[in-house]
Amino acid sequence: MSDFSEILASAIEALGLQKTRTALAALGIVIGITAVIALVSIGQSAKMAVENQIATLGSNLLTISPSLQSSAGVRSANAATTLTNEDGTAIQTSATINTISQVSPEVSRRGQVTTGSKNTNTQIVGATSTYPSVHNINLSTGTFISQNDVNSQTKVAVIGPQVVSDLFGTNTNVVGQTIRINRIAFRVVGVTASKGGTGFQNQDDMIYVPLTTAQKSLFGINYLTAISLEAKSKDQIVVAQDQVGYFLLARHKIANPAQADFTIISQNDVAGAASSVTTTLTTLLAGIAAISLLVGGIGIMNIMFVTVTERTREIGLRKALGAESKVIILQFLTEATVLTLVGGLIGMVVGVVLSYIVDYFMKLPFTISLSSVFLAIGVSAVIGIVFGWYPAQRASKLSPIEALRYE
């Protein structure tokens, strides 16, 4: 143990004599470890953010979308009008479907919304009173659309917090205010609680109006763009998907399921597809980052070769005094391992800090994979051993006489 302590102390002293060279050699490992930890962490944070966003869409959610079947057998959702209000009612009242607790028939299109001099283009959703429970929508103020609103085709609207910001600025008391959707006046009766999110399907950037009002007054249609369903439990999602699918095939008089004029997508399908994409992306990024570790390892090997060359006379003197080859090997392996471990520890700290900064500015949930941290540190140690072995072995094979003569 004392011998190894001496070797370790000697290795640290030798590395300290060439601080600039040691720092540059360790830099490649620092960058590699930082890249691996940061990219894996950011990938996992993105995956968690997607999963959280999907979870906010609703619990045990199934979504039926209309589709058209072309002569070539390719489905298309363009101008598909195959779902009706009666389909939603039939699913809700069917005696053969016992796995569905809530049905939400919906119409969704983008529209121009104005109030005073302010205007925005946002998603307009024609909904019924079941929409909030199916899609996990909560209200920060006011009320949601009632069944009476749907029956009477009233012109009322529930708006998201992003719409409030776009149209009313900092004024949060918007219940009772009037907005115009496609030039038709609607009275605001409620504001939804913020869910967060960005992009085209930002749930904070939506306006909800009675389903019948959207169909008759806003869009002039008599069909649905979707029917959302809430299964009674997560375990019944697959069974519910089958029950509803066969029920609609029979209702639409379609014998061949391949010719179905609708598609049913479960929340599990969406989550699985998103998870697969983010996992593949994270793996790809980690693989790219691992290349920098390889480059860093090659840099360590080059530095060790230079070190062996510069210390040829020292090696010859030690061997002349009786030092065994394994001691020489252990000396240089220790130096290489210390170099990579120190670089790995610095890279770990920088990687965690960088991950936090990126997640903070991208508004992603911060998460660190402990397995990636331990793997990165372990890999750095292995790199020190693997890339330090050949220079160390070469040093151990030097002839004492030739080494002492070396200039």
What does the block give as tokens for 141?
Answer: 């103020």
Check residue 238 and give its pLDDT.
87
Q: Bridge partners of 297?
A: none
Residue 384 in domain: yes
In contact, 115 and 180? CB cutoff 8 Å: yes
Q: How many CB atoms lie within 10 A of CB 301?
A: 19
Could you report how far apart the first and last alpha carbons of the chain are, in Å?
Answer: 34
Residue 382 in domain: yes
Q: Are residues 194 and 279 in the same domain?
A: no
Q: Which amino acid is at 11?
A: A
User: Domain range holding 200?
Assistant: 83-260
How far apart, in whole angstroms, are the C-alpha atoms of residue 204 and residue 137? 10
What does the block give as tokens for 256?
Answer: 């061949």
Q: Are residues 332 and 355 in the same domain?
A: yes
Q: Are residues 178 and 288 in the same domain?
A: no
Angle at 354 between CA 351 and CA 356, to 5 degrees: 110
How far apart, in whole angstroms, are the C-alpha atoms of residue 179 and residue 112? 10
Residue 65 in domain: no
Q: Are residues 194 and 231 in the same domain?
A: yes
**Helix residue ranges per DSSP H, 138-231:** 147-152, 161-168, 211-213
Residue 374 in domain: yes
In contact, 308 and 394? CB cutoff 8 Å: yes
Check residue 14 and give its pLDDT.
63
Check residue 78 and give its pLDDT.
46
Residue 66 in domain: no
Supply the DSSP symbol for 255: S
Residue-wise pLDDT for 11-32, tens only, equals 666 666 667 777 777 787 888 8
User: Crossing angle for the helix pair 2-17 and 325-361, nearest 10 degrees?
Assistant: 60
Q: Are residues 137 and 192 in the same domain?
A: yes
Q: What is the pLDDT along the chain (407 residues), one digit of tens a residue?
A: 446 676 667 666 666 666 777 777 778 788 888 888 888 888 878 777 776 766 666 568 888 988 765 444 445 444 468 899 999 999 999 888 999 999 999 999 999 999 988 899 999 999 999 999 898 889 999 999 999 999 999 999 999 999 999 998 876 789 999 999 999 999 999 999 988 665 446 788 999 999 999 999 999 999 999 999 988 888 888 898 899 999 999 999 988 888 888 898 887 766 666 667 777 777 777 777 777 777 777 777 777 767 666 666 666 666 666 666 677 777 777 777 788 888 888 888 888 888 888 888 877 778 877 777 777 777 777 777 777 776 667 666 666 655 455 44
Element (H, E) at 115: strand 100-115
Check residue 184 and give its pLDDT.
93
Q: Are residues 219 and 304 in the same domain?
A: no
How far apart, in whole angstroms, are the C-alpha atoms of residue 43 and residue 31? 18
Q: Are residues 161 and 234 in the same domain?
A: yes
- What is the pairing mode between strands 206-210 and 156-159? antiparallel
Q: Are residues 225 and 280 in the same domain?
A: no
Q: Are residues 210 and 161 in the same domain?
A: yes
Element (H, E) at 263: strand 262-266
Residue-wise pLDDT for 164-201, tens only, equals 999 988 767 899 999 999 999 999 999 999 886 654 46
Check residue 72 and give its pLDDT.
44
In contact, 14 and 310? CB cutoff 8 Å: no
Q: Are residues 131 and 182 in the same domain?
A: yes
Q: Are residues 164 and 215 in the same domain?
A: yes
Which residue in the block uniquely carries the two structure tokens 């009766």?
189
What does the block give as tokens for 110?
Answer: 């983008």
Q: Are residues 246 and 320 in the same domain?
A: no
Total structural domains within the chain: 2
Residue-wise pLDDT for 192-224, tens only, equals 998 866 544 678 899 999 999 999 999 999 999
Angle at 324 between CA 320 and CA 328, to 5 degrees: 95
